[in-house]
Structure 1
Amino acid sequence: MLHEVKFQSFNERDEVYGWIYVPAAEPKGIVQIIHGYGEHSRRYLHMIVKFMDAGFIVAADDHVGHGKTALENDTWGDWGDKGCHTMMEDEHRLTELVCEKYPNLPYFLFGHSMGSFIVRDYIAKYGSRLAGATICGTSGVFPGAEDVAKELEKAVADGKGKESDPAYAGSLLGWMCERCGEVSIGNEWICADPYVQRDHAEDPFDAFTKPTLNQSLLYFVQMMNVINGTEWAEKVPKELPIYNIGGDQDPVGQYGKGIYEVSNWLYETGHAVDTKVYSGFRHEIHNYAQIKDEVEYGIIAFMNKHL
């Protein structure tokens, strides 16, 4: 069974579009997939099917400024005016909608890349209501983010928040192909498989190649800043199980260093964290043919352990 849902965004302007995928068997839990920057939730269909086969209802939406939500609202790259917690609050609203339809089931989150940032923000506020959370392709202290934030703050203060200057995104993300060898598309850092690179670049629902407003990019950087350090980790419920996964050739995770940095913040504040780093793989570990089944089975095993 498939439900399409829509709801008012926290930004008080857009309607967010989402989907609830229900297996044809009695479900044992629910997992909400939270996609990354510039993409959309249908890029996770392989994972969605695996989770359904394992007995989980799967919920997912397209963030403001992304995917079908951006298409229907005509707001590509525009996240509204309500700040860096907008997507997190939208994800919590989706959780509420799903739980209204399917109450009293253990509830898990999975977030990749920016989705992992959203999960980290979510669990600091609403983590006590969850059975567990997986963060994938996450980041420690992101290189250069503080300097870019200052530049974006000035641009917004100067009245340029609704403009889109690619120089800011270039300063923030332009270095991420530094270990990729020959670069032709510019997204090679996501995965070494040329097919995945082309699929990502040519996807008409993908906002990665569309302009992001300066104000929205500022929210993105601010989102990374509010989930850093033990100050953030202290807000996460101690009893919440967390699974932290990524590739050691992923620039978002600072080639493994940032992944462990996040786990260490959590360990230092008394949390239980399982950490798995896949050697030789870039950002989208769930899209490598060699390991995607292993990655998904690892997430399923984590959820089964904490039902």
Structure 2
Amino acid sequence: MSFQEKSFKSFNEQDTVQAWIYTPIRKPRGIVQLVHGFGEHSRRYLHMILKLNEAGFVVAADDHVGHGKTASDSGNWSDWGDKGYMTMTEDEHTLRKIVQEEYPNLPYFMYGHSMGSMIARCYAAAYGKGMDGLILCGTSGVFPNVAELVPVLEKEIDEGKGKEIDLASLDKLLGWMTKRCENATTANDWICGDPDVVADHANDPFNNFKTPPNVRSLYHFVKMMDSIVGTQWAEKVPTSIPVYNMAGDQDPVGQYGEGVYAVSNWLAETGHKVKTKVYPGKRHEIHNYRDIRDEVEDGMIDFINSVIEK
């Protein structure tokens, strides 16, 4: 495997997004664009990236504004800009153009985890043309408390508090997520049942929960969640895109399976081919459980191969 570092101007016109293209040693068979989740960064997926490279796929990944190396280089962790909830989606579109220019005419897939799956769903609705497949991991149906938070955050922005940090709203959005974790020792135990993964997440300098998003950024986050609900979202996604939707059934983001199946049902009801895989007893980061991560990645590769073979 070899990789190149890339950077490009964010849609928000204030940040420079840091990105990477990982190339297999054999002739590439396709492209997988990897979209990471909230409060983390794309190098947390190196196991998956290597596996995809081994299977013959170019992998393109960036660190979103307010995240990872993008934020570390700029020092800007809390402000995602003032260009609206499509900012991260537009940045993924820029990265797609960069990787497809370098590797034209290859089948193109997008994988998104958690907030990344929400970005990927936004993306497929806006820029689905030419996508060969979509893989969702740890996605959400109707995320709890979003409807109540929208007017609260709107009011704060109207009052000129957009750049302030509102910990109460952040807690309302995410604070409930360890409720079903027995003997939870940290606020992030919902991420994985493997305490080493939770500790690694907490100690990673490119993950940041100390400087949370400001009011305006949090507002854009919940507006994005609001834009990918129901069949009115699913019907914007081209029916030509097959979808593989996977999660753990103890994942609060996916409402313990209920939200995961809701997303699959919205897609099925609007004429999409969708395959759903739920792992029993597993929490949010199914791709980081050491006992199943190979199975999770093999499932993704099988899905991609089945699409290419058709």
With normalisation by structure 1, the TM-score equals 0.99
AA aligned opposite 2:30: G
Distance 1:34 1:208 in 2: 19
Secondary structure of the residue that 1:211 maps to in structure 2?
Answer: coil
Contact 1:37–1:208 (CA under 8 A) maintained in structure 2: no
Contact 1:77–1:207 (CA under 8 A) maintained in structure 2: no
The residue aligned with 2:99 is 98
AA aligned opposite 2:130: R
Secondary structure of the residue that 1:7 maps to in structure 2?
Answer: strand
**1:234-245 alignment, distance < 5 Å:** 234-245=235-246
Give CA deviations for 1:232-254 in whole Å, capped at 9, x if unaligned. 11100011110000010000000
| Bigger Cα displacement from structure 2, 253-262 vs 140-149 | 140-149
The residue aligned with 1:270 is 271
AA aligned opposite 1:43: R
Shift of 1:5: 0.4
Distance 2:161 2:226 in 1: 22
- Asked whether 1:32 is paired with 2:39, we answer no
The residue aligned with 1:6 is 7
Distance 1:148 1:94 in 2: 31
Secondary structure of the residue that 1:217 maps to in structure 2?
Answer: helix
| Bigger Cα displacement from structure 2, 255-264 vs 154-163 | 154-163
AA aligned opposite 2:284: H
Give CA deviations for 1:236-276 in whole Å, capped at 9, x if unaligned. 00111100000100000000000000000011111100110
Distance 1:123 1:253 in 2: 19
- Asked whether 1:80 is paired with 2:81, we answer yes
The residue aligned with 2:43 is 42
**1:144-183 alignment, distance < 5 Å:** 144-183=145-184
Distance 2:47 2:214 in 1: 31
The residue aligned with 1:111 is 112
Unaligned runs of 5+ in 2: none
Identity %: 60
**1:209-288 alignment, distance < 5 Å:** 209-288=210-289
Unaligned runs of 5+ in 1: none
Count residues in correspondence. Answer: 307
| Bigger Cα displacement from structure 2, 179-188 vs 248-257 | 179-188
Distance 1:204 1:164 in 2: 21
Shift of 1:13: 1.1
Secondary structure of the residue that 2:224 maps to in structure 1?
Answer: helix
Distance 1:165 1:70 in 2: 20
Give CA deviations for 1:53-106 in whole Å, capped at 9, x if unaligned. 000000100000000101112211211110100000000100000011111110
With normalisation by structure 2, the TM-score equals 0.98
| Bigger Cα displacement from structure 2, 122-131 vs 34-43 | 122-131
AA aligned opposite 1:208: F
The residue aligned with 1:121 is 122
The residue aligned with 1:57 is 58
AA aligned opposite 2:86: H
Give CA deviations for 1:154-188 in whole Å, capped at 9, x if unaligned. 11111111011211110111100001122322000
Secondary structure of the residue that 1:109 maps to in structure 2?
Answer: strand
**1:190-201 alignment, distance < 5 Å:** 190-201=191-202
The residue aligned with 2:68 is 67
Distance 1:118 1:105 in 2: 22
Shift of 1:151: 1.0
Secondary structure of the residue that 1:3 maps to in structure 2?
Answer: strand
Distance 1:183 1:160 in 2: 33
Shift of 1:138: 0.3
Instruction: Give every structure 1 segment of 4 or more consecutive aligned residues whose post-TM-superposition deviation is greater than 4 Å.
Output: none
